[in-house]
Amino acid sequence: MTIQVREGVSLKAYNSFGVDVAARWFVETRDDEQVRQSLAYAAERDLPITLLGGGSNLLLTADVESLVLRLAARGIRVLSDDGDRAVIEAEAGEPWHPFVQWTLQQGLVGLENLSLIPGTVGAAPVQNIGAYGVELKDCFDGLTALDRRSGALREFTRDDCAFAYRDSLFKQELDRWVILRVRFALRRSAPLHLDYGPVRQRLQEQGSEPPTAQDVSRAICAIRSEKLPDPAVLGNAGSFFKNPLVPAEQAAALRVEHADLVAYPQADGQVKLAAGWLIERAGWKGFREGDAGVHRLQALVLVNYGQASGQQLLALAQRIQADIAQRFGVSLEIEPNVL
């Protein structure tokens, strides 16, 4: 199957902010060979390449003067299953939340806390996605990626990926690797992660005692639906800022001034601050200027009310960063990739 390269394609439908910019060239790939053909096409014409998955962790600030390669391969396979532990492989183009639900339907535990996160399986390791006390790396078994420099396939173990908080080797080397498929090690009997945020309270309200992994997923879907806007209704990329890590001394000093500071001590002695709390305390929650704004229910989420440009959303983010730095002496890092 040969690729079809189109020119001047609007990316509005391919990014969850709904920003209307155009790709100079655009191609969708559905297997490894099409990925190779696309890379060869770009190399022959000396075109830069921009990889695109679900577009849910992306802020586009201008037309993209490159070949936008959208990874759309689908497929889920059981590589091994001994009755308790199973290794599941999914193609990069699989939508993340339906994949999580599929694993739960098979009776597998591990990904339930990551329910309702937008995006694709292939993009998930790049950001080491996480929510409610669980990160992707906790259930990660390996992945297959194509090296754009050599054209060779490489198998990655968890240690190879250099996973960190919302970070990985693939985020650090965005111009090198094309993730093709990802493997997860999941179990049918494993402890549930219930002690982060309002999860346990929601489970009690649901009458889920003792809860199953599917109960946890339903609780988290309900919580996220209440707090986070649906990108199909209101353009957004989920949490726009990382929760900042600060020295324990700085957190203690902030707590003297703000007794209700939301902070989580870390194993390395640092303290993770809730970026949403900082932004809300600074008065940005619900702020709107034109069609760029901060969500009225979740200060961590920037939203596009319709016609906001990527530049307008980025300018708002930078104003928030400057204000938080001035008020609290804390630097906020933008979580989505900004192009």
Active site residues: 166, 239, 335
Stated length of the chain: 339
SS (H, E, C) 267-325: CCCCEEECHHHHHHHCCCCCCEECCEEECCCCCCEEEECCCCCHHHHHHHHHHHHHHHH
Annotate 122-159 with b (16+ C-beta within 10 A) or e (fewer).
Answer: bbbbbbbbbbbebbbbbbbbbbbbbebeeeeeeebebe
Enumerate the β-bridge partners of residue 302. Answer: 294
**Residue 98 token pair:** 């339906």
**Residue 138 token pair:** 């906790």
d(CA 122, CA 156): 13
Half-sphere exposure of 132 (CA within 13 A, CB side): 24
Q: What is the CA radius of gyration of the chain?
A: 20
Cβ atoms of residues 241 and 333 within 8 Å: yes
